[in-house]
């Protein structure tokens, strides 16, 4: 049982279209995160959530929005996709605290053409 799943795993979309990526957890963890991973940049935080309806921006939040209406689901939306948003997107969960690491999903590879 994975504990965290991302969908879809792969997506190709056209510039200007909206896109929503989903992260689902079965661990009941308080914290959920969206990162993007790009060559030369590593993992960069887009948005995160510290509870239902409680979210905050990360370092690369422009062009992205998130929603968390239930503990188990964290949605990332690209309002109008651009080619610069072509990337691999990872969701992560954590119970919080210094001694706990993150559990990552398997990622979504998004290509904007």
Residue ranges that bind other proteins, judged by CB under 8 A:
31, 33, 35, 40-45, 48, 50, 58-59, 90, 92, 96-107
Report, in Å, the least distance between residue 2 CB and other proteins: 10
Copy the structure tokens of residue 112. 């904007």
Q: Rounded distance, CA 39 to CA 98, Å?
A: 28
Residue 41 C-beta: closest distance to other proteins, Å:
7
The pairing of strands 31-38 and 87-94 is: antiparallel
Cβ nearer to other proteins, comparing 16 with 56: 56
Decide whether 32 or 78 has the Cβ nearer to other proteins. 32
CB 13 → other proteins: shortest distance, Å? 20
The C-alpha atoms of residue 21 and residue 101 are separated, in whole angstroms, by 23
SS3 category, 63 = coil
Q: Kindly state the smallest distance separating residue 94's Cβ from other proteins, in Å.
A: 8
Nearer to other proteins, 64 or 107 (CB): 107
Strand 108-112 to 87-94 pairing:
antiparallel
């Amino acid at each position: 049982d994975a504990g965290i799943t991302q969908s879809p795993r792969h997506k190709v979309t056209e510039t200007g279209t909206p896109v929503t990526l989903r992260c689902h957890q079965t661990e009941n963890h308080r914290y959920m995160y969206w990162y993007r991973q790009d060559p030369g940049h590593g993992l960069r935080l887009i948005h995160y959530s510290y509870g239902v309806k409680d979210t905050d921006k990360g370092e690369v939040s422009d062009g992205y929005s998130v929603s968390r209406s239930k503990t188990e689901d964290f949605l990332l939306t690209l309002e109008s996709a651009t080619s610069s948003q072509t990337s691999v997107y990872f969701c992560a969960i954590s119970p919080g605290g210094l001694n706990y690491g993150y559990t990552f999903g398997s990622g979504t590879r998004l290509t904007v053409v």
